[in-house]
Amino acid sequence: MKRSKIKDIFSSGQAGGDVLVQGWVKTRRTSKSVTFIQITDGSTLQDLQIVVDESNPGHEQAAGLTTGCSVSVEGMLVDSPGQGQKYEVQAKTLEVLGGSDPETYPLQKKRHSPEFLREIAHLRPRTNTFGAMARIRNSMAYAIHSFYQERGFQFIQTPIITASDAEGAGSMFQVTTLDLNDPPKNGNVVNHEEDFFGKPAFLTVSGQLEAEIFALALSDVYTFGPTFRAENSNTSRHLAEFWMVEPEVAFCQLDGLTELAEDFLKHLCGHVLDKCPEDMEFFNKWYDNTTIATLKGIANADFERITYTEAVDLLQKSGEKFEFPVTWGIDLQSEHERYLTETKIQKPVIVTDYPKGIKAFYMRMNDDGETVRAMDVLVPRIGEIIGGSQREERRDVLATRMTEAGMSHDAYSWYLDLRSYGTVPHAGFGLGFERTVQFVTGVPNIRDVIPFPRTPKNAEF
């Protein structure tokens, strides 16, 4: 017999038919003559109840089952007389596939702290929270591809190992095969000519520069892959390894880009509400009882658009005591972003036209010579969820910006070439996948929305 997924049993099972189900025991309760076992196979948040009565040859084994054991059960699907479930399975045969020592199995019926669960990341996918989180990540990844595919964007795979620093922020992990205890040297400096790539190489912080190459040939492209940042920021919103979605669009300026960002976020929120109602109810109940209402609100309301200069003005007039005082030219901190989107405007805000001094070299210079065509999308609870810009397509202006930023024109000659041969206005952004999962679920710490978080001093599993 073919294994049925518990999800399919609840959505399309027929009482009276035989089924084969396999999964892990959540709880077991034995009364005089019957054993009730709740099992999960991760296909849905709902457990399936297995009923084994005394006359069943497997009853003794069933009565000894503990949390975490794996079982294979064949039996008849029947309407459940009990509360809270539509069906249960009257077991005919029950096989224990793997035992689980109750003395050492770390998951109990009670709620465990997120910190404890991070230490057992190999078992936490069995909890309701991590099952729901994994299904929501999966559904959102699908929605990301379907959004761009339906709009005729090409999915581009950009390199993970690179010699360029796309953000110019210098927070990159170096990739080397040199012996760190005894590297080859030219005088006092390490000789990277002997390194694997013949020069210093790094893990990418963004696929943007390579995505631009393809946008300037295929017009509408996107990437979706892992990116790496060696910032020593131990916050609830930063990971050293995270996933980013980066659309890049030719013949597009900042206005077109803000529209794409708004449509994209609305699509993701709508998709998750539509496809993961049970898991969303779970997060709404246990993590943040406003998250479903917030997502519905996003689908229906237009995002606010303000310039950086207007944002600074609103912050200065707010009367709030911020830890970091606000003056024109500072980078907006999380507290400022959250004030704007949560308190002042109470919906997603797109902030544009930031001072050039706090943004990357590739952003298009405005006529004022002071600000660039940048945009950040801010959402409640998270702050910045998307960062992007129109790109500098004028070769001479870009070359000046690169010189100011101390960048080698030689190393980035290919990036300048794109502006010499058929340059066009183009724009793109990056959406942080984990920040989006955090936003959607209401889970407070970014370490709990990725299967295996990488943060300073932590790369377990």
Site residues (CB under 5 A) for Mg ion? Answer: 387
CA angle 60, 62, 64 (to 5 degrees): 75
Residue 239 interacting partner from ligand 4AD, Mg ion, none (CB closer than 5 to 8 Å by kind):
ligand 4AD
CB closer to Mg ion out of 94 and 311: 311
CB closer to ligand 4AD out of 74 and 335: 335
Residue 21 interacting partner from Mg ion, ligand 4AD, none (CB closer than 5 to 8 Å by kind):
none
387 binds ligand 4AD (CB under 6 A): yes
Name the minimum Å distance from CB 339 to ligand 4AD: 18
Residue 215 interacting partner from ligand 4AD, Mg ion, none (CB closer than 5 to 8 Å by kind):
none
Name the nearest CA neighbour of 209 among 372, 366, 407. 407
Residue 348 interacting partner from Mg ion, ligand 4AD, none (CB closer than 5 to 8 Å by kind):
none
Tokens representing 106 are 């770390």
| # residues contacting ligand 4AD (CB under 6 A) | 22
Residue 429 interacting partner from Mg ion, ligand 4AD, none (CB closer than 5 to 8 Å by kind):
ligand 4AD
Give dist(CA 394, CA 383) in Å, integer.
32
CA angle 140, 300, 390 (to 5 degrees): 65
**Contacts of ligand 4AD in 173-212 (CB under 6 A):** 206, 208
Among 19, 143, 244, 265, indicate the residue that binds ligand 4AD (CB under 6 A). Answer: 244
CB neighbour list of residue 145: distance below 8 Å, 6 or more residues apart: 155, 224
Residue 242 interacting partner from Mg ion, ligand 4AD, none (CB closer than 5 to 8 Å by kind):
ligand 4AD
Tokens representing 84 are 């809270």
Name the minimum Å distance from CB 384 to ligand 4AD: 5
Tokens representing 130 are 């991590």
Crossing angle (nearest 10°) for helices 128-150 and 277-286: 130
Name the minimum Å distance from CB 389 to ligand 4AD: 6
**Contacts of ligand 4AD in 245-264 (CB under 6 A):** 246
Residue 328 in contact with residue 312, Cβ under 8 Å?
yes
Among 13, 68, 131, 388, indicate the residue that binds ligand 4AD (CB under 6 A). Answer: 388
Crossing angle (nearest 10°) for helices 413-420 and 395-404: 160
Work out the burial of residue 457: count CB atoms within 10 Å of its CB; fewer than 13 is exposed, 13-18 middle, 19 or more buried.
exposed
432 binds ligand 4AD (CB under 6 A): yes
CB closer to ligand 4AD out of 172 and 244: 244
242 binds ligand 4AD (CB under 6 A): yes
Name the nearest CA neighbour of 171 among 236, 121, 112, 233. 233
Q: Which residues is 250 bridged to in the sheet?
A: 426
Place of tokens 């069995």: 126
Q: CA torsion, points 39, 41, 46, 49, in degrees to nearest 10? A: -30
Binding stretches for ligand 4AD (CB under 6 A): 166-167, 206, 208, 229, 238-239, 242, 244, 246, 384-389, 428-430, 432, 434-435
